[in-house]
Structure 1
Amino acid sequence: MKNIDFYFDFGSPYSYMACHRLLQICKNTEAQITWKPMLLGGVFKATGNHSPMVIPAKARYCMIDLQRWSKLWHIPMQMNPYFPINTLQLMRLITAIHLYQPDSFPQAIQTIFHAMFGEPRNLNDEAEFETLAKELGLDKREVMTWLSDEQVKTQLKDVTEEAVARGIFGAPTCFYQDEIYWGVDSLHFLESAID
């Protein structure tokens, strides 16, 4: 089995790009993705790393770089004007869907990423978050229950700690056959390894 472990956070624009590219790679190679939603803020705290967006020169470069990848891979991408967005609820939501509605998970991933960087919306806004949940076919009361569900919290925490233990310091990060691939520029090497 060709399996890719994909660690991501919805707050990472490079995770958005990687998600789209990995789906293309899987289509070409018959590989499968094991989705690993994690809290990037928790990874940063544990490793002493920081978002590139907090370093002005690096942030400016990232805006150019993301557009280059967007054009190369034909992946529509817009930086979210409401960035940074606190993704804790989004990451709990996708973890809950992974646990309780796994059949809905692949579409939910793409829908949420699209709302972040495809056609960006203010997902910090409670009303916008509720609208997104409706678009995912979820009941508001169910979602609110999930966001405080101890099993969901524990799962998200465990995957974040697992990421740190595996040497992850940022997102997106993939593993294939126990080899680490960080960032979208490493996906070429990942695809070559799978081939």
Structure 2
Amino acid sequence: MKTITFYFDPVSPYAYLAFEHLPEALQGLSYEVEYRPILFAALLHAIGQKGPAEIETKRQWTFRQVAWQADQLGIPLQVPAEHPFNPLPLLRLLWAAPQMPGATPNRLQCEQVFRYAWQAGGASATDPQRLQALKDALAPKQDPAGEPVKDLLRNETERVLKRGVFGVPTFELDGRLFWGLDALPMLAGQLRGDDWFAGKAWDQAGASRPGVVRRG
């Protein structure tokens, strides 16, 4: 059985939809998933890019698109009261939740956090009372505010940056990275061993080509 690594940040509506849709998208295939939370803002900072919600016209499109996609997929979605929100408490809670220090969260724990953010009727994702209730429900085995958990999140984010991850959601399978909700059909093709993925097409399509370089 192959392992899919799912890199995500609960601040991303695309990561939420991909999480919910993943079982249906890969139905009938044999796999297991390792869930690894990372800080999306750190990826953006490293590559010098703003998030979709930080550009007003792009923000409008993003939330129109995810609303339509959620409707098409039959997935409940309510945008939090503030967005982007600070996801650090949720990310640290996820790394603190597993039974063993350094272990990754399971699907149920990730589901609780995603649905806390995206199925709460538009409530604030940073409300202290709601955060405390979520913490009580997850019953983390480590202190989410402790340095070991902070280091886990920081180290994982730095590791995936070096790996070539530039956005969320990203899926890793067989050493290849698949970015975005719309990459799920490609991920399924890789998992099935479709001819396109078995030949040279992957490397040829991603080969560097000369072009205009923007300066300044």
Q: TM-score range by the shorter chain?
A: 0.7 to 0.9
Extract unaligned runs of 5+ from structure 1. none
Q: Do 2:95 and 2:104's aligned partners in 1 also have CA atoms closer than 8 Å?
A: no
1:179 aligns with 2:180: no
Q: Which residue of 2 aligns with 1:133?
A: 135
How far apart in 1 are the matches of 2:145 and 2:134?
Answer: 18
Secondary structure of 1:147 counterpart: coil
How far residue 124 of structure 1 moved from its aligned partner, in angstroms, is: 1.2
Question: Can you list the C-alpha shifts for 1:141-174, whole angstroms capped at 9, x where unaligned?
Answer: x67x612322211211111011111111111111
Mapping 1:163-178, distance limit 5 Å: 163-178=160-175
Question: Comparing 178-187 with 145-154, which one deviates more in the overlay?
Answer: 145-154
Q: Which residue of 2 aligns with 1:108?
A: 109
**Alignment identity in percent?**
27
How far apart in 2 are the matches of 1:28 and 1:74?
Answer: 20
How far apart in 2 are the matches of 1:13 and 1:99?
Answer: 27
Residues 146 and 10 of structure 1, relative CA distance in 2, 3 Å threshold? same
- Point out the structure with the larger helix share: 1
Secondary structure of 2:18 counterpart: helix
Mapping 1:143-154, distance limit 5 Å: 146-154=143-151
Q: Do 2:25 and 2:185's aligned partners in 1 also have CA atoms closer than 8 Å?
A: no
How far residue 27 of structure 1 moved from its aligned partner, in angstroms, is: 4.6
Between structure 1 and structure 2, the one with the greater Rg is 2
Q: Do 1:26 and 1:32's aligned partners in 2 also have CA atoms closer than 8 Å?
A: no
Question: Can you list the C-alpha shifts for 1:98-151, whole angstroms capped at 9, x where unaligned?
Answer: 363869732121111111112243121211110122233x2xxx67x6123222
1:2 aligns with 2:2: yes
How far apart in 1 are the matches of 2:170 and 2:7?
Answer: 5
Secondary structure of 1:3 counterpart: strand
How far apart in 1 are the matches of 2:42 and 2:115?
Answer: 23
Q: Which residue of 2 aligns with 1:73?
A: 73
Q: Do 1:5 and 1:36's aligned partners in 2 also have CA atoms closer than 8 Å?
A: yes
Mapping 1:6-25, distance limit 5 Å: 6-25=6-25
Instruction: Identify the structure with bigger relative contact order (alpha carbons < 8 Å, sequence gap 6+).
Output: 1
Q: TM-score if structure 1 supplies the norm length?
A: 0.88
How far residue 17 of structure 1 moved from its aligned partner, in angstroms, is: 0.6
Q: Do 2:94 and 2:105's aligned partners in 1 also have CA atoms closer than 8 Å?
A: no
Look up the equivalent residue of 1:67 and give its one-letter code: A
Q: How many residues align?
A: 190
1:94 aligns with 2:94: yes
How far apart in 2 are the matches of 1:164 and 1:172?
Answer: 13
1:31 aligns with 2:1: no
How far apart in 1 are the matches of 2:165 and 2:15?
Answer: 14
Question: Comparing 64-73 with 47-56, which one deviates more in the overlay?
Answer: 64-73
Q: TM-score if structure 2 supplies the norm length?
A: 0.80
How far apart in 2 are the matches of 1:148 and 1:115?
Answer: 19
Extract unaligned runs of 5+ from structure 2. 193-216
Question: Comparing 176-185 with 149-158, which one deviates more in the overlay?
Answer: 149-158
